[in-house]
Amino acid sequence: MLWKGKAIAWVRRPSMKQLKGLIPPEVAKYVNKPKAVPEELGKKYEKFFYEKMAEMIAVPERTAEEWEEKVNVWFIRKFWEHIANVAQLMEGQIEGF
């Protein structure tokens, strides 16, 4: 993930199985517009997000609890924008297959 041209995290590419479990059904409609996820929906899945960050972010490597302590809202948004972009790319590859 990049922020102002600098790497802030290395995120693993998910397998198709991981990708399917990466986005909760209620959040799936926001894949193309992650900034539009309502705050209350984000709060509902807050622990889920930290678990996925721990699973997917290789550098810096942290547990879900560590992510919860250290992360801020801007990093979370950036992470989910990245995941949404990966989901869109994988969706396009599947359609082309």
Query: In terms of pLDDT, which residue wins out, 47 or 19?
Result: 47
Write down the pTM of the prediction. 0.72
For position 97, what pLDDT does the model report? 43
Q: Which residues of 51-76 are buried (b: 16+ CB within 10 A; e: fewer)?
A: bbbbebbeeeebebeebbeebeeebb
Query: In terms of pLDDT, which residue wins out, 32 or 43?
Result: 43
Query: In 29-72, which residue ranges form alpha helices assigned H by DSSP?
Result: 39-44, 46-56, 64-70
The pair of structure tokens assigned to 70 is 């250290």
Classified as helix, coil or strand, 57 is strand
For position 71, what pLDDT does the model report? 92
For position 93, what pLDDT does the model report? 54
- What is the per-residue pLDDT across 54-66, written as a single tens digit (0 to 9) for each? 999 999 999 999 9
For position 45, what pLDDT does the model report? 84
